A and B are shown apart, each in its own frame.
Chain A
Amino acid sequence: MKRILVLLLCIMLLISSCAKNNQDKKATITIWHDKEDSVVAILEEALSPMKDEIDIVFEKKSSLTESLKLVGNDIKNAPDMFIFAHDKIGVYAEMGILAPITDFVSKEELGKNIPLTVEAGLYKGTNYQMPLYYETLLFLYNKKYMKEQDIPSTTEELYSYMQKKTKYGHYGFVEQHSTPYYAAGWIHGFGADLTDKEGNPLLATADMKKALSYHKKFVSLMPGETEYATVNTLFLEGMAHSTMNGPWFISAVRNAGIDVGVAPMPIVDETALPISPYCGIQGIHVLKAHANEKKDEITKVLRALQNANLEISLALATGCAPALSECYEDERIRSSEVVMAMKDTASKAMPMPNMPELDVLWSVMGNLLTDINMRNVDVETACSNAQEKALDLIKAMR
């Protein structure tokens, strides 16, 4: 009897030490992001069933892109994964810090996402991102001022509206006209672009000059200063009838008591193309630093995040469009004016190029827009100078 009791005790001790060892071996996955708390809460909830197996730590980084450049190759300090837009993929791929996402999930699994969102994650034929949701700029209007019959379907209609309504301190339409991300929609509406597929700048093409000349007449009916705070304040204080902004702006608008409407982007009369802003695909990426050592855990996290209900929750919280195709069979998505407008606009939008050349081109483009819109430099001169500057910078970068 005594012997049996001792044996029983040994077995119990053995089992409890195994359990302790299992806990000690629990992996930690660190995910960097720059998202709002509400988004992270949804992600944490979706991953919570794994908490006994994997410690998942979300770390918010305000300068995430710069930090990744600094520590991406540093095994001690690099995170395991990060959530961000797809446009930095080229930069990080060239740095050699990204692991192909297809090392963890198959192409078939990725194929469950809307093709635009998967294509955006490709760089030189390799996919580095698992998409979660995508976003673009929307045409937003204050329903108190702009009635349904006034919603412009073309840019000339928008211009007429601006001419009629921009007076006495109110503006028919405002946007960050000299910020490349916002001006890009107009540029694409003329079939122009900042670069070609190889990353060569296209700042002095005939279409680019046409786009910037045309855009300037709209700029003349907007306030001079159009940085983020000014444009947003004008709309939030009821001083602007309409604007172009992202889904991140909508809750602030509703909190300001504005009955906001979302409409398709106007079509450029001359080209019959819509104003086509850049589209950003938010997704999750894996860094090479611990990719092999934590392959199983990383794979589990990725598969857990490729979840329709999760993406629907994210979409309804952010106003963005889910990446998984099956989400669009859900009534919650189909009945959301904002999400469906986002999907419609994004389908005509252009994914932001993910090549490293764009990193360099952004400031050149910003200066080009400021030269034309704020300093009244003639379009021909400004574009030529910008093209030359861009070529020099890209040559130095390469």
Chain B
Amino acid sequence: MKRLFTIVLCFLLMTAAVYSQAAVEVADKAEAPAAESVPAKEKEADKNIIVYAKVPDSWEYPCVWAWDDAGISAFPSWPGDLMEMDPSNAGWHYIYLPSSMTSVIINANDGGIQTKDYRIESQDAWIIVNDDGSASVSKAKMTQGDLPEYSERFTLFAQVDESWKEPCVWAWEDPSGKNAFAAWPGRTMKANANGWYSAKVPSWCNSIIVNGNGGTVQTADIKELDPANMWLAVAQDGTFELTYEDPTIPKVEDISVKVKVPADWLEPCIWAWSHPDGTNAFVSWPGEKLNPEEDGTYTLSIPGWINSIIINANGGTVQTTDLRVDSGKNLSIIVAGPDSVVFSYK
């Protein structure tokens, strides 16, 4: 009896402990916050590896295509990036790659000729390419002297008058006067299929001259430049136009959209995209707010490449269906309701 009573009592006490309304203490249980993300670009030399290549004479302008074990490439597109000649080691070209790169292909002639894949395992590598395209890879240093200084580069694209033969670029840092290339007229630019010439320039250079005919014709000094890819169109007299925006990509002009919505559609917005690829014009729903006009309509300029639109309002809680429109044409849209929309081209 006594034993049974003790068991019951214990049971009751245990149960009470489980279901009791304990004072809630919110202890400092927030997780230690994640460390702040590291700046995305790793520029220092010790976060990069160097790859050298010696290629046959017929392999012009050797490039490297590189990727890591996840398949992520160091470069946006084939054939990758142009290698630099090492003036201290005749016949050798080099390039710095992010240290995560584990495989490379050496290629040349605008990617028209190439080796097979070679593993470099995130280490410095010296690759000798044979005439038949086969290659040997060495982790042991095969060049003399110190490794070249790490430097970021930008690409200068130039379009010159046809009387300017073998255009070259001369580049330096102003005001120190430090030159990128050994001697005038500087680096010979590579001719590309689209009629533009290109050359890599160290990013520490902020001034250039483009010249031709062995340096006998030239532009003026072009100074205060940013370390970014640039396009320079040069006339016969050396005058030029320069832009950081690629002029070889066809541009689509913005279009204007004029919208009329019901009175209870507050703060109307436009969401727009390209179908079927799904590229959005705006960062997030409900898109961009339309500008109110005095006549009660709303207007906005939007990228002209879009071909699909939704007009929405009240914080995105009311909307039209998807409207398929012609790209590049100004629009007038009358919304009577979510399913009642008329649009025309202005």
Interface residues of A (CB under 8 A from B): 4, 7-8, 11-12, 15, 18-19, 22, 42, 45-50, 53, 61-64, 66-67, 144-145, 164-165, 167-170, 225, 227-229, 232, 238-239, 241, 251, 254-260, 300, 303-304, 307-310, 312-313, 315-317, 332, 336, 338, 363
Contacts of A338 in B (CB 8 A): 36
Contacts of B15 in A (CB 8 A): 12, 15
Contacts of B301 in A (CB 8 A): 225
Interface pair B33/A63, CB less than 8 Å apart: no
Contacts of B34 in A (CB 8 A): 316-317
Contacts of B25 in A (CB 8 A): 49
A11 to B228, CA, bound (A): 80
Interface footprint category on B:
35 or more
Check B316 for interface membership: any CB of A closer than 8 A.
yes
A170 to B225, CA, bound (A): 10
A145 to B228, CA, bound (A): 9
Contacts of A164 in B (CB 8 A): 224
Contacts of A4 in B (CB 8 A): 1, 4, 8
Interface pair B26/A363, CB less than 8 Å apart: no
A165 to B225, CA, bound (A): 8
Instruction: Given A4-B4, A15-B12, output 20 extra A-B contacts at Cβ < 8 Å.
Output: A4-B8, A11-B12, A12-B15, A15-B19, A22-B21, A46-B26, A144-B226, A168-B244, A170-B244, A227-B288, A239-B244, A239-B245, A254-B39, A255-B40, A259-B41, A259-B43, A309-B32, A310-B30, A313-B30, A316-B33
Nearest chain B residue, comparing its CB with the CB of A254: B40
Interface pair B224/A165, CB less than 8 Å apart: yes
Nearest chain A residue, comparing its CB with the CB of B225: A168
Interface residues of B (CB under 8 A from A): 1, 4, 8, 11-12, 15-16, 19, 21, 24-34, 36-37, 39-41, 43, 203, 224, 226-228, 230, 242-245, 254, 266, 281-283, 285-286, 288, 292, 301, 314-317
A170 to B228, CA, bound (A): 10
CB distance from A168 to the nearest CB of B (A): 5
- The answer to whether residues A258 and B40 also contact, given A18-B19, A63-B316, A313-B30 and a CB cut-off of 8 A, is yes
A42 to B40, CA, bound (A): 24
Contacts of A62 in B (CB 8 A): 285-286, 315-317
Interface pair A313/B19, CB less than 8 Å apart: no
Contacts of A229 in B (CB 8 A): 281-283, 288
Across the A-B interface, how many residue pairs have beta carbons closer than 8 Å?
Answer: 131
Contacts of A67 in B (CB 8 A): 315
Nearest chain B residue, comparing its CB with the CB of A224: B301
Closest 7 CB pairs of A and B: A63-B315, A316-B33, A309-B30, A304-B26, A62-B315, A313-B33, A169-B244
Which of these, B19, B33, B226, B288, contacts A165 with CB under 8 Å? B226
Which of these, B1, B36, B40, B285, contacts A316 with CB under 8 Å? B36
Which of these, B4, B36, B228, contacts A238 with CB under 8 Å? B228
CB distance from A233 to the nearest CB of B (A): 9
- The answer to whether residues A45 and B29 also contact, given A169-B243, A170-B226, A254-B40 and a CB cut-off of 8 A, is yes
A238 to B228, CA, bound (A): 8
Interface pair B24/A50, CB less than 8 Å apart: yes
Contacts of B24 in A (CB 8 A): 49-50, 53, 300
Contacts of A47 in B (CB 8 A): 26
CB distance from B267 to the nearest CB of A (A): 8
Show 20 residue pairs from A and B whose CB-CB distance is below 8 angstroms, ordered by the A residue: A11-B8, A11-B11, A12-B15, A42-B30, A45-B30, A46-B30, A49-B25, A49-B26, A53-B21, A66-B266, A66-B315, A144-B226, A144-B227, A145-B226, A164-B224, A254-B39, A259-B43, A309-B30, A317-B34, A338-B36
Interface pair B292/A363, CB less than 8 Å apart: yes
Contacts of A363 in B (CB 8 A): 292
CB distance from A334 to the nearest CB of B (A): 13
A42 to B31, CA, bound (A): 8
A207 to B191, CA, bound (A): 58
Contacts of B228 in A (CB 8 A): 144-145, 170, 238
Interface pair A251/B37, CB less than 8 Å apart: yes
Contacts of A61 in B (CB 8 A): 315
Contacts of A308 in B (CB 8 A): 28
CB distance from A140 to the nearest CB of B (A): 13
A48 to B29, CA, bound (A): 9
Which of these, B16, B26, B27, B243, contacts A168 with CB under 8 Å? B243
CB distance from B156 to the nearest CB of A (A): 12
CB distance from A260 to the nearest CB of B (A): 7
A170 to B231, CA, bound (A): 13
- The answer to whether residues A312 and B33 also contact, given A11-B12, A145-B226 and a CB cut-off of 8 A, is yes
A316 to B33, CA, bound (A): 7
CB distance from A312 to the nearest CB of B (A): 6
Contacts of B315 in A (CB 8 A): 61-64, 66-67
Interface pair B40/A256, CB less than 8 Å apart: yes
Contacts of B29 in A (CB 8 A): 45-46, 48-49, 309
CB distance from A383 to the nearest CB of B (A): 19
Contacts of A46 in B (CB 8 A): 26, 29-30
- The answer to whether residues A313 and B281 also contact, given A49-B26, A50-B24, A62-B317 and a CB cut-off of 8 A, is no
A304 to B34, CA, bound (A): 21
CB distance from B30 to the nearest CB of A (A): 4
Contacts of A165 in B (CB 8 A): 224, 226
- The answer to whether residues A257 and B288 also contact, given A49-B25, A53-B24 and a CB cut-off of 8 A, is no
Interface pair B288/A228, CB less than 8 Å apart: yes
A8 to B7, CA, bound (A): 10
Contacts of A50 in B (CB 8 A): 24, 26
Interface pair A257/B40, CB less than 8 Å apart: yes
Most buried by B among A165, A309, A338: A309
Contacts of B281 in A (CB 8 A): 229
Contacts of B243 in A (CB 8 A): 168-169
- The answer to whether residues A259 and B314 also contact, given A15-B15, A18-B19, A22-B19 and a CB cut-off of 8 A, is no
A7 to B28, CA, bound (A): 44
CB distance from B230 to the nearest CB of A (A): 7
A145 to B227, CA, bound (A): 7
Nearest chain B residue, comparing its CB with the CB of A15: B15
Interface pair A19/B19, CB less than 8 Å apart: yes
Contacts of B285 in A (CB 8 A): 62
Interface pair A317/B33, CB less than 8 Å apart: yes
CB distance from A386 to the nearest CB of B (A): 14
